[in-house]
Chain A
Amino acid sequence: MGENVDTTQAPRKIGPPQLRISRLFESKQLGWIALAIALLVPFVIATPYALNVMTTAAIFVLLASGLNIVVGYCGLLDLGYIAFMAVGTYTAGIIAKSFELPLIFTIPAVLVMTILAGLIIGAPTLRLRSDYLAIVTLGFGEITRITANNLTITGGPSGIFGIPGLLKIGDFDLQQPAVFYYVTVLVVAGFVLAAARLGKSRLGRAWRFVREDEDAAEAMGIHTYHVKLLAYIFGAIWGGFGGILFAAHLSAVSPQSFIFLQSALVLMAVVLGGMGNMRGVVIGALVISLLPEFLRDLAAYRYLAFGLLLVVVMVFRPQGFWPARGYEPERMQAPAAPAAAAGEKGANR
C-alpha cells in the first residue's frame, strides 16, 4: 500500500505546475489565439510602416522556428543559419527575375537548392560536435555571403533589384502590403505548426534523443547521422521559405542582408524564447524583431538599450522565456486496479 501512496503523490510533487496561468499557456488553443491576434492587428494599426515591421517580424518568426529544429530539437549549434535564407532568397530572386516569373513558381527550385545546401553543410560537418560544429557553420555562413558578394549572377555587392511579386492575377496582387502581410502570417503559421508537430513525432523524439545522448540513441537503433542530416534539411527548407518571403517583401536582395549578425539574431531569438519549445521561440523571435522598433525613441541609444535588455533577460531567465518542459499527461484512463496490480497484469500479458 505504501508504494501506491507514493505513486499518486509523486506527480504532484515533481509534476507540472498547477497554476492557472501556466495551464492557459499549455492549452492547445493558444496557437489559434496567437494566429487570431496576428490577423486582427492590421485592424488596429495599418500604417505602411507598421505593416512593414510586422511582416518582417513574421518572416523572422519563420526563421527562428526553422533554427529551432536544428538547435532546439537536435542540439546542433548553427551559427550560419542565415545562409539557408540567402540560398532561398537568391534562388527565388534570380529565377523570378530572369524568367519574369511570379515568385510563387520558384518554390520547387528553392526547395531543391535549400535541400542541397542542407546536405552540403550537413554531410561533412555532422561528425563534429558542439564548438567545432559552430565554427564550421559560422564559416559556411560567411562563405555564402562572400560568394554572393563576388558572383555576377547574384549581382555582386549591389545585389538584385526589381524581383517580381509573389503572384498577380488580374487586379488581385499578393504584393499589396496588407494582403502580403496576411499571406506571410498564414504561411509562417503553417510552418510554425508543422515544426511544432514535427517536434512531437517519432522524428522529433529521435532529434531529442540525439541531443541528449548520441550513443544511447545509436544503441536504440537510431541512425544519428541520418537524423541529424534531416534536422539540417528541415532547417534549410524553413530558411529557404523565409528567403522567398524576404525576396517578395523587399523585391530586392543584397549580400548585406546576410551578415553574421543576422544569424546571431535568429539564434538569439531561439535561446531567448526557450530552446526546443516552439511557442517560446515564436515569442523570442517577436521580441528580437519588434523590440528595437519600440525602442526607436531612444535614437542612437536604441541598440544599447536592446543589448542591455537582452542581458537582463538572460541573467534572470537563463533558460529563456518559455523553455521546453519535459512533461506529458500520465496514463489516459486510470487503471482499474492499483498500480502494483497493473504491473502484475503487464507481467503476465
Chain B
Amino acid sequence: MTAILEVKDLQIAFGGVRAVDGLTFSAQEKEIIAVIGPNGAGKTSAFNCITGFYKPTSGSVVLNGRNITGKRPADIAAAGVSRTFQNLRLFPDLTVLDNVRAGMHLYGGQNWADAIFHTPRFKRSETAYTEEAHHWLDFVGYEGARGVPIRNLSYGRQKQVEIARALARKAGLLLLDEPAAGLNYSEKQQLLGLCRRIRDLGTAIVLIAHDMGLVMELSERIVVMNFGREIAEGTPAEVKANPAVIEAYLGKDDEEVQTNGDA
C-alpha cells in the first residue's frame, strides 16, 4: 500500500485565529479515513487547504509524491483530488447530466473547432460524455429524471448527483465534506454501501462526518480535530477509548458508557 495523500503539519491562520494548527495525517490507497471533531474544529478549513481553496500558512500537502501545497484548485483537481462541498455546490440551472459532465471536463477529447464544425471526434466525445454520466449516476444509485435542471430535485438526490460528479473526475483521492448531513437512516445505509464500492474502485476516501455510528462502521482510521489541532488518530476502537476525544466530545467527568451508546 502506498500513501496517496500525505498532509504534514498543515497550518492556516485567519488573522489571529488558527483554524488549522498542525494537522498531520496520511491516506493510503483504498482506505477510508474519517475526520471528526466538534463544530469549528477546522475540518472544512483543512479540506479547503488540501484542495487549494485556501493557501496554507505553513505545512505541506503531498499527493502521490508530488507536492501540491498552495496550488490552484483546478491544478490540484487535475493532479487527482476530487471533492464535494459541505453545502451542496451544484450548478442549479443545469441538468443532472450536465452537472455530472462537469466532473469530466479534464477528459478533453474535443476542442472548440470540433464543436463548431461538429466533427466525428466531437460526436464521439459527446456520446462518451453522456454514457459516462449515466454510468456514474447509475453507480451512485440515482433513480430520478436526468434531463431536468437540478434545482428542482430533492436534497437527497442532489447529494447523490454531487457525489456522482466528484466520482466522474476519476481521481485517486475523494474528499467528502459531510456526505451524511441531512440524510435519513436508509439514505445513510445507501451511503455506507456506496463508500465501500468507491473504495473498491481503488479510490481513497477522506470524509468529514458527525454521525458517529456511520464513522465507526465505515472508516478504517479516524482523525479527531479540536480547535484546529489534531487530538487523536487511530482505528475506531482506539479513538473511542481515547480520553482526549471523550473530553472533546462530551466534556470532562463523563463516563465511557455514553460513548458506547453513541456508537
Residues of A within 8 A of B (CB): 3-4, 6-7, 10-11, 14-16, 194, 197-198, 200-206, 208-209, 212-213, 215-224, 230, 234, 324, 326-331, 339-340, 342-343, 345-347, 349
Contacts and interface: CB of A to CB of B under 8 A. Distances in A.
Contact of A342 (B89, B108, B138, B197): B138
B103 to A, nearest CB: 5
Nearest to A11: B145
A57 B59 CA distance: 60
Contact of A218 (B77, B145, B169): B77
Interface in B100-151: 101-103, 105-106, 108-112, 114-116, 118, 122, 125-126, 129, 134-135, 137-139, 141-149
A19 to B, nearest CB: 17
Interface stretch (B12-20, B21-29, B90-98, B202-210): B90-98
Nearest to A339: B143
A219 B169 CA distance: 10
Contacts of A209: 91, 94, 102, 105
Contacts of B95: 326-328
Contacts of A200: 115
Contacts of A345: 138
A7 B72 CA distance: 39
Contacts of B53: 215, 218-219
B197 to A, nearest CB: 6
B184 interface: no
Contacts of B146: 330-331
B118 to A, nearest CB: 6
Contacts of B114: 201
Given A213-B89, A347-B141, A221 B77 contact: yes
Contacts of B82: 219-220
Contacts of A326: 93-95, 98, 148-149
A329 B146 CA distance: 8
Given A200-B115, A328-B98, 4 more contacts: A217-B102, A221-B77, A222-B105, A326-B98
Contacts of B169: 220-221
A208 B138 contact: no
A54 B120 CA distance: 36
A327 B147 contact: yes
A88 B50 CA distance: 45
A198 B144 CA distance: 28
Contact of B144 (A10, A204, A342): A10
A349 B114 CA distance: 31
A3 B143 contact: yes
B77 A220 contact: yes
Most buried by A among B114, B126, B139, B143: B143
A220 B115 contact: no
B138 A346 contact: yes
A14 B74 contact: no
Given A15-B145, A204-B115, A349 B135 contact: yes
Nearest to A198: B115
A221 B74 contact: yes
B259 to A, nearest CB: 34
B115 A347 contact: no
B229 interface: no
